Each structure stands twice: as structure tokens, then as C-alpha cells.
Structure 1
Amino acid sequence: MPVDNWLHGRFARCQPGGMTEFAEISDVTQAELPVPRRPRVLAGVAVLRRRTGELQIGIEPDHATVLSGLSPTVERAMHRLTGAHTVADLLGTSPEPQEHDELAKVLRQLDKRGLVEDATDHPRPTARLAADVTSSVLNGLTGAHVPDLRAHATIEVHGNGRLAIAVACLLAAAGVGRVHPIAGGVVVPEDVGTGYLESDVGRPRRTAAREAIERVEPCAVTRPLRRPTLVVLADSAVPRPDVVTKLSRAKVPHLLVRVHERTGVVGPLVVPGRSSCLHCADLRRTELDPCWPSVAAQLAGQTRPADLACAQAVAALAAAQALRFVAWRPPQSPPPVWNGSIELDPFESTTLARDWPPHPACPCGAHLREENLDR
């Protein structure tokens, strides 16, 4: 398929004269939409010239938009959407009212599609989190609130291996205000590479973990302060039953992250009483393999080794799911590891989504929740 045809078939298109190919909203709705007072393209979203009178906003086909039939004045204005200028500033000394209308239509549509924001209402996030905010907006979350939600979150990360420290460092770097590592023993050579240093070998993991987190984000609080927003249980194929029981009784959400030889697994995300729990998953496994309880008892609490590439890839996926949970507010769709898990094999470049629905025999009661009936 020729590139032009693929682009034209995938990108939303806008022709200011008619606006018929852009977003399928009526002229009445158009008039009711406010024009951003100080329009600013989301951080990281490219404004690209395709040809005379035609611009492309964004790269990814699911979000990118082609603007066609632009006047030279409006085309120039589109390259100045930094939030520092009003609409009048952008048009300069142009006396043509149709150019004002043209720019207003384009800005309304881009604002509706989430590609432009009003800098008056949304102060630009720190450069470090600007791309995170843009990603959140394009994924349907309220991007402007993401830094605050993360800053006020508390996430505990349990684990003695490469996964736990990698997840903890990623969460701190992504702006989570309180990241409390829970680890025992001392750092061993096979822990190094995802946060621990070679010089940490032989030192207490708890101390080295806090220092690793503070290296990536000096402002992160690493001591326990309050009830966690989320607990990440990492590195063990089967977490310790006493830890899981304590979290379930306290109604603390928890996310399982582990590596099975060469395959990383993230999930399920357990929101006690609402989503399937780890006992639900055990019941499902036992139905498939009657020996699972015996196998699980031998694996419980045992740190599993992880190769560096797999550990980093799985940690990134786990951190993304944790961050999505922190920003998640119903009626938004829950993270994909709700009632499920994602298996990742970096070497083969494959992923597998596996369902773990609530089990009717489990006393957690999640199978009675309305949101789980059709999942």
C-alpha cells in the first residue's frame, strides 16, 4: 500500500473550509466549544509540514491529525503553539476575520482530540514528566492531574531481586512521591544491574535499595509513612501466603510481578473484594493441575533469578500498570491486569494476555461484583 494512501486512510483529517473529515461534530457544537486562550501543543507532539497548506499534528496514526487547506497565516501560527501566545498574538497584524475563524476552528478540534491544551488552565509540567502527561492524555486519562496523583501516592515494593529494585526506581523516577522498598538479606552479584551497584554487593538490601531510589529521585520518600496506595509483590513466583493474607484483610491493592525462567509475568492486580485475588488464581490453577498446591508451597517466597533484559522489560511493564492504577478513576477502564496477567518473552518478542476471573468458590466475593460479571 502506498504511504500516502496509508496515511490518508489512518489519520484524522481537517479541512477548515468544511471540517467534514475531522471529528464528526456539528457546526452548532463547534460554536459551543471554547477556543483555548493560550493554545499549546502537548509536549512531545510533533507539528510537521507535509506540503503547502497542510500540516500533520502527531506521528502515531491513532492520534495524528492532518490539517489541510490552511492559509499561510494560520499555517505559520500552528508552529507557534507554545502557550506563550493568545490567538490574537498568533495571527499578528492580519486583519482578515476569516483567518481568525479558521484558526479558532482548528484549535477547537485539536483541543477536542486532546492534542492541544490551554496553557492558562494547565501549567506546563516539569520537563521530566512532560512526556508522561502527554501519554496519559492520549490514553484517555486526565493528564494535568497525573503529576499530583503520582506525587501523593505511596507504593511499597517487596522483593529481594532485580525486579523489585527496577520497579522501585522506575516508580520514583516517574514521580511517585513515596516508594518504600521492603527487602531482606544482603545484595548478591546476581542482583546487580537494575538499580543495585557492584559496590552494593554484601551490603544490606534495604539500605542499598533506598540509596538506589534516591539516586534516581532525591526527593522521593523511601521510609514507610502511611497506608500504601499499592503494594508490588516482586521476584517470587509465588508470594508468601502470610503477606498476601495480611494485604487482603487490610483491603490493600497489590500487584504480582515475577519471572518464570525466561518469561516475565505481570498481574493479576488485586483490589480486594473487587477484582480476582491470588487465591482465585490458585483455585483456577488447581482445577487445571491438582498438584499445584504442592508446587506453590515449594515456590512461596523464593526469589527467582531474572536475566537483565527480561528484568528491565518486565519492570517497565509492571511500573506502567502501577502508574495506570494510581491515575485510574472509574468509569475509566481498569488496567488490563485487572482479573488477568500479561506474560512477556523479550527474546521471542511475544506477549500473552491471560484471564484470571474471580472464582465462585473463593471467599473474597469478587465474583459477585457487577463489573466482573462479563469479564
Structure 2
Amino acid sequence: MHPMLKPALRRAWRERQSVQFGVTGALAVTLGPVDTATGTLLDLLDGTRGLPLLRAEARSLGLPDGHLDALLGRLTAAGLLDDVRAGGPEAEALRHRAPVLDRLRPDLAALSVVHPEPGGGLRRLAARQATHVQIRGAGRVGASVAALLSASGVGRVEVLDGGHTEPWDVAPGGLPAAAVGERRDAAARRLVRHTAAIPARRAPRPGSAPQGDGTAEGGPGHAAGLSLVVLCPRDGLAAHAPDPAAARDWIATGTPHLYAGVIESTGLVGPLVLPGGTACAGCLELGRADRDPGWPRLVAQWRSGGRRAPVPACDLSLASAVAGTAAAHALSFLDGELPACVGARWETSMPLLEWRPRPVAPHDDCDCGAGGKSEGQDTPGIARSHETMAG
């Protein structure tokens, strides 16, 4: 073990014999009492020394035997201690890829404080290399989500969309102005390559890209090897009122999928669907019809394309906020957590831009299998997905 105080947590003396680690209320921890010798010993916990050398340093400072081990135990229990050699073989391999690790050091620092166990941050960062995420849609939201996930260390990010890049698809962090007129799927693949923190593995090029606005379409092979599908249609209606038929294959194969988009002046992220465990697009549609009997008629007209605006409303800053939130929720799931968009949709509207959750409950009449579960009851879908991502 080569112990190191987590560098992401700023340290300051609260008073003469107590030290505070961390600035924000969510993470701040105070350690005390801390005498002068112990304070000096804290300065030596920088990851460059193993336990034998640290014990010798503690003795030279006049500290009794066992003091160092007791201190390390307290720091570990408080989530303040990391180990520069922990995390397993994948983490060790990542340590030897200096250019990649340098790109991802801010992400690693954040993960190290979110996951308190020594080596937990690097283990999760290394595990992202084995994940495969498919983005459906390469507009202002989808392309930005793809770039964020690729830059955050996701091993394979695949973007599917049809048609050619339009001037209004261009966004900072998304498709560049130079891509206008180019096929959206080709432009998105190049964006993913240019932003990737980890060099892409060569993979067979997908067949014909789906046509239309980047919404999900049925067909074989959609769930093959996928860790997550993120649906970011350029027409936000398909995220606000997703078609259950479009997700049928993912429900059947147990593929987690997340909806995100902008409709009119509202941005939305969620729900994240864990098939068989949480509410799906069918549950969403049935639940809305229960509350509003006129809803199915309205949705049918909107989906038919009648009176559709030639360019859907999509404020650039709102699209960027949605993309960032969707990417953060996706990464949380890939890292083994169940983010707040599981069983809920998060919405924000201009001009106030206050995010608010809208619960999405499983519906008893939906054939996805999530209905009829009592609140708080563990479900196979949630447990399986969580265990798979975390492992």
C-alpha cells in the first residue's frame, strides 16, 4: 500500500488541533485532535512512500508504534485516503498509459471523492474502457452527448442517425460548422474520434444508418454488446412522448436505455429504463393516457408529422445543459450507480431553468414486466443492471 490523501479534497486547519478535508458540505470531513507531529505525518501521505517507510518516519517524529496504522484506519473510514497502487489489473494498466491518464485526471479526481474506497475512482475509470454506448441522434443534444462520453473514457461510443448535417445541427462541443452538408453519421463518428480520451478500437462499421430524425428503430443487432443506449432525437417529441414500439427490442434483450432531448422550450432527461425493473416508454404512455384521455389522439397526430415545424425549436444553451446532464447520468450508471433519472424524468424550461423531477411509475397493463412491483421492492432488472455495470 502507498497511501495518499485524496488530492481533490482541499485541506485546511479549522483550529490548532483539527483539520478539515473538503470544501463543500457534501464531502467536508473534520479530523481531530491532530497534534503537530501527526500534522507533519499527514504531509507525508502523498503516495510516494510505502508502509515500512511511513512507519519509520512516524517513529522519527516521536509517534508511538501503531499510531500510523490507527491514523490510516481513521482516514480510510472517512473516505479521505487513496492508494496509488489499488484498483486491480485494469487500473494498473491504465496507470501505464500516461497520455490517456493525463487527459482523465480531473475525472479521476472527481471519482475518487465520490467513491470513498482506496482505488475506487481509478477502478471505475478503467472499467469505462470496456463499455459500449450507442447514441441515437446526432443533433444538438445527441452529438454533444457522444462527445462528452467519448472524452470521459467510454471505450466505444457509436452514433446512429440519417440524413446530412444542417446548419442548425452545429453546436459547441457537438458537430462543427465544417460538417454541414456531410452525412450526420460520418460527422458524428469523426467527432467521437477527435474527442476520445482513449484511442478507439477498430470495429466493424455499422450497416445502413437509420433514416429520419435519429429515433430508435427496430431490427436485429441493436442490443449486441451494448452497455447503454441513449436516445437523443433531433425532434424532441420522440423523447417527450417516446414510441413504445421503437424500444421493443431493447425491452426484449434487457438493454438499458435513456431518453434525452429538447421539445419547444423544455429540456428533459429520463427516464433511464432498466427493462423488467423500471418504467418504460409503454408505462409512460399508458400512465399519461390514464390521466388525460385525450393524450393518445394528440400523440397520434403529432407523430404523423402533420403541421410539424421545418426546424424544431432547440435553444442552444438549453440543448447543452440537457446534453451535459444526460451524459452525467449515463456515466453514473456506467460506473455502477442508479442515477436520479431511474424511474423519473427530469425537466427544465426556459426562462427559469429550474430542474424538477417527474416520477414515472411502472404500469400494470404494460407488457414490459415492471408493473405490479411494490415500492422499494428489489427487481431483477435493477439488480442485474447495477451489478453488471459495477462489476
| TM-score bracket relative to the smaller structure | 0.7 to 0.9
Aligned-pair Cα RMSD in Å: 2.8
The percentage of aligned residue pairs carrying the same residue is 30
Unaligned residue ranges in structure 2 (runs of 5+) = 96-100, 207-220, 306-310, 380-391
2:343 matched to 1:308? no
1:282 counterpart (260, 282, 285): 285
Q: How far apart are residue 310 of structure 1 and its match?
A: 0.9
Distance of 1:109 and 1:103 partners within structure 2: 10
2:108 matched to 1:108? no
2:180 counterpart (193, 201, 223): 201
Q: How far apart are residue 369 of structure 1 and its match?
A: 4.2
Distance of 2:274 and 2:125 partners within structure 1: 23
Q: How far apart are residue 203 of structure 1 and its match?
A: 0.9
Q: How far apart are residue 179 of structure 1 and its match?
A: 0.4
Structure 2 matches for 1:1-375, cutoff 5 A?
37-87=1-51, 89-90=53-54, 92=57, 94-95=59-60, 98=63, 101-122=66-87, 126-140=101-115, 142-193=120-171, 194-217=173-196, 219-221=199-201, 223=205, 226-235=224-233, 236-238=236-238, 239-300=242-303, 304-328=312-336, 334-345=338-349, 347-369=351-373, 373=377
Q: How far apart are residue 293 of structure 1 and its match?
A: 1.8
Residues 116-136 of structure 1: per-residue CA shift (max 9 Å, x gap): 122232458623334434434
Distance of 2:43 and 2:188 partners within structure 1: 45
Distance of 1:266 and 1:190 partners within structure 2: 21
Q: How far apart are residue 160 of structure 1 and its match?
A: 3.8
Residues 280-339 of structure 1: per-residue CA shift (max 9 Å, x gap): 0001111122222233234449884421211111111111111122122xxx6x222111
1:237–1:230 CA distance, 2 compared to 1 (3 A): same
What TM-score do you get using the length of structure 1 for normalisation? 0.80
Cα pair 1:165 1:196 within 8 Å, conserved: yes
Across the two proteins, how many residue pairs are aligned to each other?
335
Q: After TM superposition, where is structure 1 displaced by more than 6 Å over at least 4 residues in a row?
A: none
1:243–1:93 CA distance, 2 compared to 1 (3 A): closer
1:294–1:282 CA distance, 2 compared to 1 (3 A): same
1:100–1:311 CA distance, 2 compared to 1 (3 A): farther
Distance of 1:369 and 1:177 partners within structure 2: 35
Q: How far apart are residue 97 of structure 1 and its match?
A: 5.3
Unaligned residue ranges in structure 1 (runs of 5+) = 1-36
Residues 104-153 of structure 1: per-residue CA shift (max 9 Å, x gap): 33321121122212223245862333443443454448433212321111
1:99–1:297 CA distance, 2 compared to 1 (3 A): farther
Residues 219-263 of structure 1: per-residue CA shift (max 9 Å, x gap): 135855943111111133224554322322332211110112222
